[in-house]
């Protein structure tokens, strides 16, 4: 019997930050999305995502390397502006949260994962949040799944894991956790139905 459903965050709950427009504005200044999101491609981002550096250290390093006229505080503000939830996911999460326990299992820096939970309004649907930046281990490492199972006090076969990356789902399945590779909300509903979870 399914007791817990675990959700990835980016490209499952929310779109990639800065992916919905070509330009973003703050304090009367406009910045290209391409430049703003290049922070994800510097080496320090990986360190941030597993808790080796904090948000301030990441952004400070990025701004030093780039020609973006922002300070750390304003980058954080514009980052939050760039967060958008995927249409249809609020309804799915609300429905599931009324019948199952939901948790997140996220590869992201601790602060940014929390911004996304707050800006999207999705935090209220989750009983637990497992974030790589807090746990210092990331998917598809088996350890992060085991941490979640142990904390939830649940057997692998009592869980479904939803992620947009096949490798992360394959890792979960090797531990006995049922998984769904997310494409879009309509496809997710169809996949959940194969587990006798029918969302109207």
For the chain, the domains span 4-15+85-193, 23-81
- Write the pLDDT tens digit of every residue in 116-125: 999 999 999 9
Residue with tokens 């249409």: 87
The confidence score (pLDDT) of residue 146 equals 98
Question: Which of 74, 72, 68, 71 has the alpha carbon at shortest distance from 33?
Answer: 68
- Region 100-104: mean pLDDT is 98
32-83 confidence digits (pLDDT tens): 999 999 999 999 999 999 999 999 999 999 999 998 999 999 999 999 999 9
Query: pLDDT > 90: what percent of the chain?
Result: 99
pLDDT of residue 200 exceeding 90, the answer is no
pTM score, two decimals? 0.96
Identify which of 32, 31, 39 has the alpha carbon closest to the alpha carbon of residue 65: 39
Residue with tokens 């491609």: 41
Q: Is the dihedral of CA 156, 157, 160, 165 positive or negative?
A: positive
Q: Roughly what angle, to the nearest 10 degrees, separates helices 72-81 and 110-120? A: 40
C-alpha span between 32 and 18 (Å, rounded)? 9
pLDDT at 33: 98
| Number of neighbouring beta carbons within 10 Å of residue 176 | 13
Q: Report the 10 Å Cβ neighbour count for 158.
A: 17
Q: What confidence tens digit (pLDDT) does each residue in 124-157 have?
A: 999 999 999 999 999 999 999 999 999 999 999 9
Distances (CA, A) of 178 to 40, 73, 74, 168: 29, 41, 41, 12
Give the CATH superfamily of 4-15+85-193: HAD superfamily/HAD-like (3.40.50.1000)
């Amino acid at each position: 019997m399914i007791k817990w459903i675990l959700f990835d965050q980016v490209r499952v709950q929310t779109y990639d930050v800065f992916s919905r427009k070509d330009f973003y504005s703050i304090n009367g200044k406009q910045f290209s999305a391409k430049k703003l999101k290049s922070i994800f491609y510097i080496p320090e981002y990986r360190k941030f995502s597993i808790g080796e550096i904090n948000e301030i250290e990441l952004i400070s390093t990025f701004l030093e390397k780039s020609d973006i006229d922002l300070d750390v505080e304003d980058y954080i503000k514009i980052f939050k502006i760039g967060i958008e939830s995927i249409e249809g996911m609020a309804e799915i999460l609300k429905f599931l949260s009324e019948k199952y326990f939901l948790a997140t299992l996220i590869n992201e820096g601790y602060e940014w994962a929390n911004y996304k939970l707050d800006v999207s309004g999705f935090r209220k649907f989750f009983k637990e949040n497992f974030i790589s930046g807090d746990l210092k281990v990331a998917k598809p490492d088996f350890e992060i799944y085991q941490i979640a199972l142990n904390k939830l006090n649940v057997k692998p076969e009592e869980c479904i894991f939803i992620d947009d990356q096949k490798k992360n789902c394959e890792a979960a399945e090797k531990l006995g956790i049922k998984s769904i590779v997310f494409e879009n909300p309509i496809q997710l509903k169809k996949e959940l139905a194969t587990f006798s979870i029918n969302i109207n």
